[in-house]
């Protein structure tokens, strides 16, 4: 919401490693693009990566970078780390997540991080899931909804759940849960979540 240019996450290690940080053969991945698969590198053990866990830090970094903000994970125990990152970015050991070139509105940035406020769930079918995961800018229409879970009012935050039961995004409801249930599966009805207020993970 602050339209910041960068987020620097200070951890107890130098960044994302291509193996265990305790392994002498491992090295820091200096730059991570949008399509980079990190599942082989990230361990879920909190004891190995500090209190927050590197998996949590990476998920946040991915989300923020997708919003067009540079994210850097660096070692907060190193002297002058912030000064070095700003003055000598190429020489300072860290992991940089490449930001998306597509601008994201401040509203969408807020919605992307508002899952904790969610009041209900909108479950969608396979066709709607595929369209939402495509490059098209689409809203969630009643025809693609299979069921509504929970009670919510218009403008409340809701979770978007695919046909496999996985959460794929969050959005701001364009109507209340009663109205949404009445239009499930129907054609020609207004969007339950408009594209401008929808964040797909």
Matching residue, tokens 């929970």? 150
Mean pLDDT over 189-193 rounds to 95
pLDDT score at 38: 67
Q: Which tens digits make up the pLDDT trace of 145-172?
A: 999 999 999 999 999 999 999 999 999 9
Predicted confidence band at 42 (pLDDT cuts at 50, 70, 90)?
low
Q: Domain 108-200 falls in which CATH fold?
A: 2.30.130
Q: Where are the domains of the chain?
A: 6-103, 108-200
pLDDT score at 167: 93
pLDDT score at 37: 65
Whole-model pTM above 0.75? no
pLDDT score at 49: 45
Matching residue, tokens 């130098």? 14
Which range, 27-36, 43-52, 60-69, 175-184, has the best average confidence (pLDDT)?
Answer: 175-184
For residue 73, the cross-strand partners are 9, 95
Q: Which tens digits make up the pLDDT trace of 172-187?
A: 999 999 999 999 999 9
| Phi, psi (deg, nearest 5) at residue 145 | -95, 135
- 145-150 and 70-75: which strand pairing? unpaired
Q: Is 79 left (phi over 0), alpha (psi -120 to 50) or beta?
A: beta
Mean pLDDT over 78-98 rounds to 95
3-state percent breakdown (helix, strand, coil) of the chain, nearest 5: 25, 25, 50
Q: Domain 6-103 falls in which CATH fold?
A: Carbamate kinase (3.40.1160)
Q: Is 42 left (phi over 0), alpha (psi -120 to 50) or beta?
A: beta
């Amino acid at each position: 919401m602050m339209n910041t240019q960068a987020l620097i996450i200070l951890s107890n290690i130098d960044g994302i490693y291509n193996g265990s940080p305790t392994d002498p053969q491992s090295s820091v991945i200096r730059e991570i693009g949008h399509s980079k698969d990190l599942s082989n590198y990230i361990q879920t053990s909190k004891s190995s990566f500090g209190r927050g866990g590197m998996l949590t830090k990476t998920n946040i970094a991915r989300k923020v970078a997708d919003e067009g903000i540079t994210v850097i994970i660096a070692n907060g125990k190193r002297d002058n780390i912030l000064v070095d990152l700003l003055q000598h970015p190429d020489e300072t050991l860290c992991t940089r997540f490449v930001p998306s070139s597509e601008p994201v509105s401040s509203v969408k940035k807020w919605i992307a991080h508002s899952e904790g406020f969610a009041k209900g769930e909108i479950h969608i079918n396979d066709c709607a899931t595929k369209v939402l995961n495509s490059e098209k800018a689409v809203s969630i229409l009643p025809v693609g909804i299979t069921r509504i879970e929970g009670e919510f009012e218009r403008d409340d935050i809701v979770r978007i759940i695919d046909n496999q039961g996985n959460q794929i995004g969050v959005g701001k409801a364009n109507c209340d849960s009663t109205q949404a249930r009445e239009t499930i599966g129907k054609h020609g009805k207004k969007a339950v979540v408009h594209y401008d207020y929808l964040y797909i993970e």
